[in-house]
Amino acid sequence: MAIDVHTLADAIERANRAMGGLTDQLNAADAKLGDGDTGTMLARLIGSFAAVDLQNAPDLGAGFMALAKTGAASTGSSLGTLIVTAMMTAGKASAGQDAIEWNGLSQILLAVRDAAMARGKAELGAKTIIDGLDALARAIAGKDDPAAIAAAAREAMDQALLEFRERPSAIGRARMFAEKSVGLDDPGMLALAEIVRAVTTNHSATALA
């Protein structure tokens, strides 16, 4: 079994369900140094993704592109735009393919990481969602078993949060509060970790693990 539009639709559905319980948590994490709207924005964005008819997308690349198009109309926030960039990048990488093999997921995540760095003009180590993507991509490299990928992904995100929590933020609004950011999770990285957890836990027949 490979990753196809049904896998993608299932992951979106899981993430959307999880946002019901994550919205307040992510808003609270963002409110410590920011506007406090990360959870609300993500709930709106992922909700718009869930309304996309992925099951009838002609191929996986078209499915990702449909998500990108929907996202582009849904949010103007920095994090939201990075997610749209991720969908476009994955769409280009899987254009015209019905499915990609599990062992190809790491390469797509690395491409997403690089695209997000270019779009956000961010470096690795700045304590952003990009560091989470980097940890995720490296952790699952060379793996082709969905259950093993799921376990490695969860472990990588836990480690990334632990590693970066005590570092100062170096980009965006949080950089202006660099000292205060020590000891706090980056809201974008935390959101990625929680969504990875939601997508990879309690697996069904078509999901990630």
Which residues would be at the binding site for other proteins (CB under 8 A)? 35-37, 41, 72-78, 80-82, 84-85, 119-120, 172-173, 176-177
In the complex, least distance from residue 148 CB atom to other proteins, rounded to whole angstroms: 34
In the complex, least distance from residue 191 CB atom to other proteins, rounded to whole angstroms: 16
User: In terms of Cα–Cα distance, which of 62, 71, 137, 70 is closest to 93?
Assistant: 62
Instruction: Give the nearer residue to other proteins in terms of CB position, either 148 or 170.
Output: 170
Instruction: Give the nearer residue to other proteins in terms of CB position, either 92 or 203.
Output: 92
* Structure tokens, 87: 């969908």
- Asked if residue 177 lies in contact with residue 33, where contact means CB atoms within 8 angstroms, the answer is yes
Instruction: Give the nearer residue to other proteins in terms of CB position, either 54 or 68.
Output: 68
Instruction: Give the nearer residue to other proteins in terms of CB position, either 76 or 96.
Output: 76
In the complex, least distance from residue 138 CB atom to other proteins, rounded to whole angstroms: 25
In the complex, least distance from residue 27 CB atom to other proteins, rounded to whole angstroms: 9
